[in-house]
A = this chain, B = another copy of it.
């Protein structure tokens, strides 16, 4: 566990948005000026493989999330904001429905695309 890896993990844990590697990099650089984007990627990918964080892709970019509970995402197609929703029931329901299929599920990804409250109000004016 190097200082870089620790810092990256701490940074991710303290955020509730769903940063990309680039976003993490910008923040971490403030404390570790010599760190590289490549290092950030390597560590985030490693942590994701170890199951310590989540990685998911939206619009051809990887986003990361230290929040490991079973949850889903709302993605605003207007402003790009990504929100969490804690509807365990949805995932449970989805998983339950898979039991009969001949497919061994290891992960379910549920993403809702649409308009967040702000953008909806803005658009309706």
- Residues in A lying within 8 Å of B, measured CB to CB: 57, 59-60, 74, 76-77, 83, 85, 87, 89-90, 93-94, 97-98, 101-117, 120
Contact = CB atoms under 8 A, between A and B. Distances in A.
Nearest to A106: B114
A110 B108 contact: yes
Count of this chain's copies in the oligomeric assembly: 2
Contacts of A120: 102, 104
Contacts of A106: 77, 113-115
A112 B101 CA distance: 12
Given A57-B57, A60-B57, A110-B110, A97 B105 contact: no
Nearest to A61: B60
Nearest to A107: B113
B117 A102 contact: yes
Given A94-B110, A103-B112, 15 more contacts: A60-B60, A74-B103, A85-B101, A90-B93, A90-B97, A93-B93, A98-B112, A102-B117, A102-B120, A103-B117, A106-B113, A106-B114, A109-B111, A109-B112, A110-B110
Given A94-B90, A97-B90, A113 B109 contact: yes
